[in-house]
């Protein structure tokens, strides 16, 4: 029995984006990879990437480059760990976040 996720909170979308970046390790992830992994429109992707950079959860080592690569910061890694803890806790009680 699988559960359909009808609505994703903004926090979950941000976490999905950060998971996509983390999955690429030290090399970082490009926008296309993040877009597909987080299942977002281009406009939303740009908006949320800017927000993550602004909050210092991710950074762009070469902002002038045509092929932008995003990396998780230490703050971002800690945020993602905390999110995963809370996600597991919530889902144990059947609460989707």
Asked if 30 contacts 69 with a C-beta cutoff of 8 angstroms, the reply is: yes
- For 76, residues 6+ apart whose C-beta sits below 8 A from its C-beta are 18, 21, 52, 56, 57, 58
CB of 26 to another protein, least distance (A): 16
Shorter beta-carbon distance to another protein: residue 42 or 97: 97
Site string for another protein, 38-77 (x = CB under 8 A): ----------------------------------------
Give how far Cα 53 sits from Cα of 4, 8, 68, Å.
Answer: 30, 21, 13
92 binds another protein (CB under 8 A): yes
- The binding track of 8-37 with respect to another protein, each residue x by CB under 8 A or -, is -x-xx-------------------------
């Amino acid at each position: 029995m699988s559960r359909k996720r009808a609505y994703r909170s903004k926090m979950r979308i941000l976490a999905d984006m950060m998971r996509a970046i983390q999955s690429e390790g030290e090399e970082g992830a490009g926008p296309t990879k993040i877009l597909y992994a987080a299942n977002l429109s281009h406009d939303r992707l740009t908006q949320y990437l800017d927000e993550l950079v602004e909050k210092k959860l991710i950074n762009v080592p070469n902002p002038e480059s045509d092929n932008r690569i995003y990396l998780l910061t230490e703050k971002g890694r800690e945020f993602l760990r905390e999110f995963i803890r809370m996600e597991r806790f919530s889902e144990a009680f059947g609460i989707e976040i």
